[in-house]
Chain A
Amino acid sequence: MSRSGSERVTRLQVLVTQAAIVAALISGWELAPNSMLEELLWSRPSAIFAQTYLWLADGTLIRHAYATLLTVASGMLIGGLIGIAVGLHAGASRTVARLIIGPIEALFALPKITLVPLFILWMGIGAFQHIVFTALVVFFFFFFAMYNGVRGVPAALNDTLTLAGASTAQRIVILYLPASFGWIVIATRLAMPYAFVAAVSTEVIASTSGLGHLVKGSAAVMNSAGMFSAMLALLCVSLTASVIANLAAAKSRWTL
């Protein structure tokens, strides 16, 4: 039998099958006896639904989701811009590259989460600390993207601009930024989930708001429904952000 014949599955069939599996898992979870899934630890879909409804109604989920999103967006913006600026310098100047590549590689290799206690000492547990940490995590994606983008510019293009008498600013605008555009789009796409990991990690460690704070706070009072509810909200928010980043990446067509 041919492969196409044996694997002719419509999109609808796939969706129906997936929905059936999810439905089976959820009903199994709901109906399992307490001896199998202890409700105190596992909660039940009905309780999670009720908790989510309550938190949506009183604005709790929106408030915390907004805090997390603000951290992610500011972190991406600040870390991205600094990464692009530093990467541009390192890519354009051999001297700058030799000075900073070593330290940046070292910092990149460090598990950044170990810096959070230090950051808390320096900056407290507020939004500022979360943003700085998120910016630090995403910085590397943009730095390496820009650095490689600029270094990958063919020497002939650089010479052409030199002979036309281009200034540094013109070289950046006409050559380096467009040449690195594809790299930056990929960096945005890859950095997005890591920005969420960074933001939520700092929130879980110590914070006053954010979905990570909500997960941790619920766990502290044995509110397992609340934990799942906050996780569900986080899933929705980060998935939406990633889908948007992927769409932007698919639309981009500038590559060298």
Chain B
Amino acid sequence: MAEPAQNRDPETGTGANRPMLTFNGVSRRFGDLPALEDINLTIDRGNFVALVGPSGCGKTTLLNLAAGLAQPDTGTVHYDGTPLLKPNTSAGYLTQDDALLPWRDVLTNVALPLEIKGIDKATRFARAREIIRKVGLASFERHRPSELSGGMRKRVSLARTLIYKPETLLLDEPFGALDAQTRVLMQKQLLDLCREFKLTVLLVTHDIGEAIALSNRIVLLSARPGRITEVLDVPHSPDHDIFRRGQGNERLYSHIWEHLVTQATDTGSI
């Protein structure tokens, strides 16, 4: 069962059809408090999946499981066909906080994962400069996080996450704290980078518009304990325009909104 990740799917020879991330009957509790219950979810290679659910339904816990930072109480999590028992170093994790080292500048923050891998200074700084340019921060290499705006800090985190070329991105409400305009620009940039690097993405968000604009599948979670209540496909053309977000998907939007309102009122959150 525990075949090496490099093995390719014997039927296609490409591995393209093998799921990237699989949750089988996963439950997780914190003390007496159940956070997740019987999660069964498969995320295919190259897909962009959004997790939407009311506050405290265990979305972040699900991401921590996918990152291998936590283990399920029951059930299993597989990454690229292999059971995930330790931190998942093939996945890039972008948390709600920027998680940048405040005493380091942009360049050394972005180069951090390569520094940990023991790659020499010249190589890692060259790679960092390249990716910093990609996220549009070329002239800010020597700035510290405290000298940057929220959107810029987020882009530094994104650059640091992308520098070790992860196959998968785990995003925990990455743009929640940004203003509306910056958020859309960041989403556009994220989508472009995902296409360029052919990334598989699992995005946790509160923002229905964001979920519809970015993902091709939306997973709805119930209030605590989190259970999957519905999986929705988002129909849009492959080169859809993020600035026309949600257009043509109004019914999907109101369907998800109804779900959130129902879940919130059922648990007395409203």
Which A residues are within 8 Å of any B CB, using their own CB?
Answer: 154, 156-157, 159-166, 170, 174-175, 178, 181, 254-256
Contact = CB atoms under 8 A, between A and B. Distances in A.
A164 B112 contact: yes
Contacts of B164: 164
Interface stretch (B7-15, B38-46, B90-98, B189-197): B90-98
A254 B145 CA distance: 13
Contact of B87 (A162, A174, A181): A162
Interface residues of B, number: 22
Interface of B: 67, 69, 87-89, 91-93, 95-97, 99, 101-103, 112-113, 115-117, 160, 164
Contacts of A161: 116
Contact of A163 (B91, B96, B102, B103): B91
17 contacts: A156-B95, A156-B97, A157-B99, A159-B95, A159-B99, A160-B93, A160-B112, A162-B69, A162-B87, A163-B89, A163-B91, A164-B113, A164-B116, A164-B117, A165-B89, A165-B117, A178-B103
B91 A156 contact: no
B112 A174 contact: yes
A256 B102 contact: yes
A157 B93 contact: no
Contacts of A160: 93, 95, 99, 112, 160
A160 B102 CA distance: 14
Given A159-B99, A160-B160, A165-B117, 13 more contacts: A156-B96, A160-B93, A160-B99, A162-B87, A165-B87, A165-B116, A166-B116, A174-B112, A174-B115, A175-B101, A254-B103, A255-B102, A256-B102
Contacts of A164: 89, 112-113, 116-117, 164
B115 A159 contact: no
Nearest to B113: A164
Contacts of A165: 87, 89, 116-117
A195 B206 CA distance: 55
Contact of A157 (B69, B92, B101): B101
The prevalent SS among residues of B at the interface is loop
B136 to A, nearest CB: 22
A163 B112 contact: no
Given A170-B116, A174-B115, A174-B116, A163 B101 contact: no
Contacts of B93: 159-160, 163
A94 to B, nearest CB: 16
A181 B102 CA distance: 12
Given A154-B99, A157-B99, A175-B101, A163 B115 contact: no
A178 B95 contact: no
A253 to B, nearest CB: 8
A155 B242 CA distance: 33
Contact of A178 (B101, B112, B113, B117): B101
A155 to B, nearest CB: 9
A24 to B, nearest CB: 50
Nearest to B67: A163
A208 B172 CA distance: 65
A162 B99 CA distance: 12
A174 B97 CA distance: 19
B140 to A, nearest CB: 19
A174 B160 CA distance: 15
A150 to B, nearest CB: 14
B95 A163 contact: no
Contacts of B116: 161, 164-166, 170, 174
A254 B101 CA distance: 11
Most buried by B among A166, A175, A254, A255: A166
A154 B67 CA distance: 17
Contact of A156 (B87, B99, B103): B99
Contact of B69 (A163, A174, A178): A163
A202 to B, nearest CB: 38
B113 to A, nearest CB: 4
Nearest to B164: A164
Contacts of A178: 101, 103
Contacts of B89: 163-165
A18 to B, nearest CB: 40
Contacts of B115: 174
Contacts of B69: 159, 162-163
A157 B103 CA distance: 13
A157 B89 CA distance: 15
Contacts of B88: 163
